Amino acid sequence: MSFSFLLKPVVSKLRQYIVCLFALLSIVPAVSQASRSAVILQYHHVSDETPGITSVTPETFRKQINYLVENEFNVMPLVDVVEALGHKKALPERTVAITFDDAYLSIYTNAFPILREQGLPFTVFVSPTPVDKNYQKFLSWEQLLEMAEAGATLANHTMEHAHSVERLPGETEAQWLSRFSRDLEMTEARIQEKSGQSVKMFAWTFGETTPELRVRLNEMGYIGFGQQSGAAGEYSDFTRLPRFPMAGIYGVNDFAVKVNSRALPVTSQTPDSSLITQDNLKPELELTLASGDYQKKQLKCYASGQGELKVTWLNEEMTRFRTQANKPLPVGRTRYNCTAPSNSGRHYYWYSHAWLRLTDEGKALD
């Protein structure tokens, strides 16, 4: 005698439970994929004929863009990323913004076709003087406008790409800051005149800045972007948001690690300045952290050209720590990078502080 008729209601109920279970499971990723971080990529040249220290090859660039597309990264306009982070709105997991500095011709010839093919937004930080003067290897306004019409954002990078941190002989602080303000306004006006865009986003030339310049930038209503590594997050300084440089040895071999990284939640740091004084060539950096999904005991810091640094925790809760260079930092630009793996081990939380040591004459190196 068959009892299949007795099993039918049970099977029917079981199917309903399975359907409901899968429906619930499908919700979990959507919730867990909310993020307070975004990765901003910074490029200069996309060429195999330009200096390697500021370049990625077209082949490497295509591979990186393909990685983002194939792994379903959320590539957003930089303006939208900044707006979300500034208002502490959750972003989709794996959010990335793409930026280019200096308006080099290779952006148009080698990068733009790949980005247009994939329908991806990007930002070009423009120094208008080389464009106005038709310098070799720089974009024209016609090319910039063609990219803008395709969805690119044009933003501020000073008129002539000078070192904003340098003062002129005999120049007072007030005069220096006034000169910086005029340059910022002239650049923004020129970009708006040619393109109609004025987004008030500014990339520091060479990634160099000082507290005084950052205060002025904020007073003028601009968002600033540096060249120090790390994801941008809700605790980030919006006068010098981090970007991952994609050139030379940076970002080529560890691209996947960087674009999957998250912002280490640094709520305060000492010192606030990047400038290194002659009597403090091995500067200490002290950071205070908010709680988060990272392994405190696995946090490590590194200095450019020096390898791993000692990390000293300053309280039992492990929310404050100090690190310091092993030997004097050289003239030019260096960084301390601090990272910690997530509890799952799938991501790295990342924070970088840029240091700048001027020459004895107060000059910055190109």
Q: What is the pLDDT of residue 249?
A: 67
Q: How many CB atoms lie within 10 A of CB 223?
A: 23
Distances (CA, A) of 3 to 6, 9, 174: 5, 12, 93
Give 28's pLDDT tier (boundaries 50, 70, 90): very low
Per-residue pLDDT at 32 exceeds 50: no
Strands 300-303 vs 307-309: parallel, antiparallel or unpaired: antiparallel
Distances (CA, A) of 199 to 24, 77, 78, 80: 41, 12, 10, 11
Give 23's pLDDT tier (boundaries 50, 70, 90): very low
Q: What is the pLDDT of residue 36?
A: 85
Give 121's pLDDT tier (boundaries 50, 70, 90): very high
The Cα 304–Cα 282 span in angstroms is: 12
Q: Report phi then psi at 109, rounded to 5.
A: -75, -35
Q: Same CATH fold, 264-366 and 33-262?
A: no
Q: What is the pLDDT of residue 253?
A: 73
- Mean pLDDT of the region 246-266: 87
Give 248's pLDDT tier (boundaries 50, 70, 90): confident
- Mean pLDDT of the region 223-239: 97
Distances (CA, A) of 56 to 20, 43, 63, 66, 321: 48, 8, 11, 15, 35
Give 27's pLDDT tier (boundaries 50, 70, 90): very low
Per-residue pLDDT at 20 exceeds 80: no
Mean pLDDT (the chain) is 90
The two tokens of residue 1 are: 């005698």
In the chain, the percentage of residues whose pLDDT exceeds 70 is 90
Residue from 15, 350, 359, 31 nearest 165 by CA: 359
What digits encode the pLDDT tens for the residues 147-169?
999 999 999 999 999 999 999 99
The Cα 290–Cα 101 span in angstroms is: 32
The Cα 68–Cα 259 span in angstroms is: 8
Residue with tokens 């990723």: 29
Q: Which fold does the domain 264-366 belong to in CATH?
A: Immunoglobulin-like (2.60.40)
Give 250's pLDDT tier (boundaries 50, 70, 90): low
Give 293's pLDDT tier (boundaries 50, 70, 90): very high
Q: Which helix (H) or strand (E) holds 144?
A: helix 141-149
- Mean pLDDT of the region 288-296: 96
Q: How many CB atoms lie within 10 A of CB 169?
A: 6
Q: What is the pLDDT of residue 22?
A: 30
> How many Å separate Cα 262 from the centre of its chain?
11
With 0-12 / 13-18 / 19 or more C-beta atoms within 10 angstroms meaning exposed / middle / buried, residue 70 is exposed
Angle at 332 between CA 326 and CA 335, to 5 degrees: 50
pTM: 0.90
Per-residue pLDDT at 11 exceeds 90: no
Q: Which fold does the domain 33-262 belong to in CATH?
A: TIM Barrel (3.20.20)
Per-residue pLDDT at 139 exceeds 80: yes
Q: What is the domain partition of the chain in residue ranges?
A: 33-262, 264-366
Strands 45-46 vs 91-92: parallel, antiparallel or unpaired: unpaired
> How many Å separate Cα 233 from the centre of its chain?
10
Name all contacts of 170-178 with Cβ < 8 Å and 24+ positions apart: 173/212, 177/212, 177/213, 177/216
- Mean pLDDT of the region 343-351: 95
- Mean pLDDT of the region 39-44: 98
Per-residue pLDDT at 19 exceeds 80: no
Q: What is the pLDDT of residue 35?
A: 79
Per-residue pLDDT at 143 exceeds 90: yes
- Mean pLDDT of the region 212-225: 98
